[in-house]
Structure 1
Amino acid sequence: MAKARLTIELCKGCRLCVGNCPKQAIIPLEQVNKKGYEIITVDEELCIGCGMCYKVCPDYVFTIE
């Protein structure tokens, strides 16, 4: 089954993906990437690979594999 993968270094913490995930599989973290932006993670157990995160992300953080 397809799953969302992300590149943490590209994330700018806009969290559009968090609000658009139908399974709440994208979780904001209290960590920052190298650029100082708050980051997110994907719960692979919950992810259904629908691609909503990929569609709404303005920074091309996600790939669906």
Structure 2
Amino acid sequence: MTRGSIRIDRERCKGCGLCFRACPFSVIGPDSSMNRSGTCPAAVLRPESCTGCASCYQVCPDCAITVYREDGSHS
């Protein structure tokens, strides 16, 4: 299975939840703490399950997610 990882910019994320629903492996969920804008951003909850599929990246309206794949490339 392909391995990947994601980074979420907490301050850019508005917590819309689109990435939660787009992730086929439930890697992302809501953070329990607020960012400076007063919203609970997305958080990486299960990093070991990330395949780098970039579904979360594709649906993020805030461009708050960066995806890294095992080969070192990123989206």
Unaligned runs of 5+ in 2: 69-75
4+ residue stretches of structure 1 with deviation over 6 A?
Answer: none
Alignment TM-score, normalising by the size of structure 1: 0.90
Identity rate, percent? 40
Report whether the alignment pairs 1:52 with 2:50.
Answer: no
When normalised by structure 2's length, the TM-score is: 0.79
Name which one, 1 or 2, has greater alpha-carbon Rg. Answer: 2
Q: Report the number of matched residues.
A: 65
| Structure showing greater relative contact order (alpha-carbon pairs closer than 8 Å, 6 or more residues apart) | 1
Structure 1 gap ranges (5+): none
Q: How many Å separate the matches in 1 of 2:35 and 2:49?
A: 23
Task: Write out per-residue CA displacement over residues 19-65 of structure 1, whole angstroms, 9 at most, x where no aligned residue.
Answer: 11000000212211011111121121111110000000000011112
- Which structure's residues are more often strand, by fraction? 1
